[in-house]
Amino acid sequence: METVLDLVQRRAFLKRIAAAIVSAGAAGCLSCKSRHAALAPPTDGNWYFTKDRLAAALETDRLARPAGVEVFAYNYPAWHCSPWMEQRLGSGWTEYKTLREAKTLFPGHAMPRRPLLGELNEADPEWAQREIDLASGHGITGWMIDWYWHSGTMFFHEQLENGFLKTPGNSKLKFAVMWANHDWKNYFPASSPESAALLLAQRHSVEDCVRAIRYAIDHYFGAPNYWRIGNEPVFAIFDLPGMLQQLGRDSARRAFDLMREETRKAGYAGLHLQWSQSGGALVGELASLGFQSATQYHPFGWTYGGRPAGGRTHYGEACGITIAKWFETRDEASVPFFPGCAVGWDDSPRFGARSHLVVGRTPDQFERLCRAARHFVSRQDKKVVFLSSWNEWTEDHVLLPDQEFGHGYLEAVQRAFL
């Protein structure tokens, strides 16, 4: 029997959820209010993402376990010496430096994170093979690798081209690339995202989109383990709003048509375009723009710029918001939507006290979020789940083993999906 106090708590929580969603630029839908309300905080204020709260978020305690789910982890390749970055930040620079210099901001703050395997060089085939074995051995199907192309200027691609693709055992993992087509700033560190110095602007043009896809065709698509859906190589785009702002919708459609034509000329059925940072009204336009699927690079994205700097959100609350947003986005999207599961969020190594942190993360809560995603895709034709991420150390979403949790997060993935 629900008490008056329960009802008050539910209404108060729903108001907070709505405010968080609006602040991130995406209004909630009425069909998801019951899910938001069911995650009302208990009277002791404990946000831990328990089995009961998982059942409340999905409105069922009978979770489906469909077979054939593909699990892709985003891979941020900033953990090797990339010449373009060294020219600007110093010889031998990698983002491990930013991680090492991170500060502990409050008692219990788990920064800096310490990689259990040390500062591995992902562009070295021997080290790359160790990563491949770890990922494939714990239920990960493949990597969606961040790909930095700025009008032909490239950096961080050495991880893929010198490391992953040159390992004898890379066939254990599928891979695809996500065009990280945003302005590149010096976050290593900066006082805030807004004040960070510009290192390289992203300038979109129809011609450059064609050049980018030609490079991907020549260097990546032909690999036997490149991820394809219906013989269409998957090519993900991060900043679709920025692209549309620079090109306009008509020119963007023309660019996507030409990219698809180039891929067909190369012998493929077409090009599977995926928006990697989906949300808001734009998801309803994806089919008309020429996209075939959508997901979210990081489902806790509402923390980034969406809440006051220096604030903290418990991981359990973040899981509740994330699951509700899956349902909203799937209802609004004009293409298939693949849910994302985040290990955590803490970009204080980059922005210090200006960061908004997700606190209280643990492998068991992450495993429940993964099980929720597996249930979510059970009725979809294409069953794909994304994980954020393999190695975003300076944003605190890392599946690789660290000195606090060991292999706990990889084991959570293994239990959830195998």
Looking at residue 36, its pLDDT comes to 41
What is the rounded CA–CA span in Å between residue 229 and residue 383? 11
The more confident residue out of 4 and 178 is: 178
Lowest mean pLDDT among 16-25, 54-63, 285-294, 350-359: 16-25
What is the rounded CA–CA span in Å between residue 354 and residue 332? 32
Architecture category of domain 70-300+344-357+384-417 in CATH: Alpha-Beta Barrel (3.20)
Beta bridge partners, 176, equal: 144
Residue 323's closest CA among 46, 118, 89, 17? 17
Phi, psi of 164 (to 5 degrees): -50, -55
Spell 121-147 as b/e; 16+ CB within 10 A means b. bbbbbebbbebbebbbebbbbbbbbbb
Domains of the chain by residue range? 70-300+344-357+384-417
Give the mean model confidence (pLDDT) for residues 233-260. 98
Burial class (CB in 10 A: 0-12, 13-18, 19+), 5: exposed
Looking at residue 231, its pLDDT comes to 95
Q: At residue 15, does pLDDT exceed 50?
A: no
Looking at residue 362, its pLDDT comes to 97
Tokens coding 309: 């700097």
Q: At residue 415, does pLDDT exceed 50?
A: yes
Question: Does the pTM of the predicted model rise above 0.85?
Answer: yes
Q: At residue 24, does pLDDT exceed 80?
A: no
pLDDT > 90: what percent of the chain? Answer: 83
Q: At residue 22, does pLDDT exceed 60?
A: no
pLDDT tens, position by position, 211-227: 999 999 999 999 999 99
The SS3 call for residue 306 is: coil
Q: At residue 305, does pLDDT exceed 70?
A: no
Q: List the beta strands (DSSP E) in 76-210.
A: 142-150, 153-155, 174-179, 184-185, 198-200
Cα 64 → chain centroid: 24
Q: At residue 5, does pLDDT exceed 50?
A: no
Give the mean model confidence (pLDDT) for residues 370-389. 97
What is the rounded CA–CA span in Å between residue 295 and residue 382? 13
Q: At residue 3, does pLDDT exceed 80?
A: no
pLDDT tens, position by position, 318-331: 999 999 999 999 99
Q: At residue 33, does pLDDT exceed 60?
A: no
pLDDT tens, position by position, 89-106: 999 999 999 999 999 999
